[in-house]
Structures are given as C-alpha cells and as structure tokens.
Amino acid sequence: MKKWAQDACNQIDAGLFSGDTFNDEKSLQELEYYMLRWSRQLTSLKLTLDHSRFFDYKNQAWVVDGKYTRCGHSPALGCGCYGRLHEGKSYVPEQP
C-alpha cells in the first residue's frame, strides 16, 4: 500500500477507535456511506486480480469460472444488476 493511503487509513482508524470523531448519527451515516463504497470497490479490485474472473462489459457483470456472479452492491440496495439477476447462469460469448 502506498504511504499516503496507509496514512489516510491510520487516521480513519484512529478516529473510529478514539471515540471522538464519529460520535453523532450524521457522522456515522457518512462513515457508513464510505465504508459501503469502499467495500464494493474492494470486491471489484479482488476480482480483477483473479484471472479466472473477468468483466462482461456488454452486460456490466462479473463472470467467474464461466458463470455470472452477483454484483458487489449491498443487498439493502435491491439493485437490478445483471449479475445479481443472472447469478449462476453460464456466460456465452457473442458470435461475430
């Protein structure tokens, strides 16, 4: 991890565990927003590092071992992402 990112993480970690930064509902909601956003991006980053997985740009969904996988969105969003709706179905490449 780059030093600037590690420093930023350490500052957030210190604020979270010191009890003096996130001490009201609005602050907690803002923190939760970022944590959910970061969680989704971490899922995407992990998928890009695994070569048995790739992104189907046409359908905007991840394919894992030849099958669509659910998106990284929080289930609370109730999204209609292609991956969530077609989870487990085989990826069939388009024929030219």
Query: What is the pTM assigned to this prediction?
Result: 0.51
Distance CA 32, CA 61 (A): 25
- Say if residue 31's pLDDT is above 80: yes
Provide the pLDDT for residue 51: 65
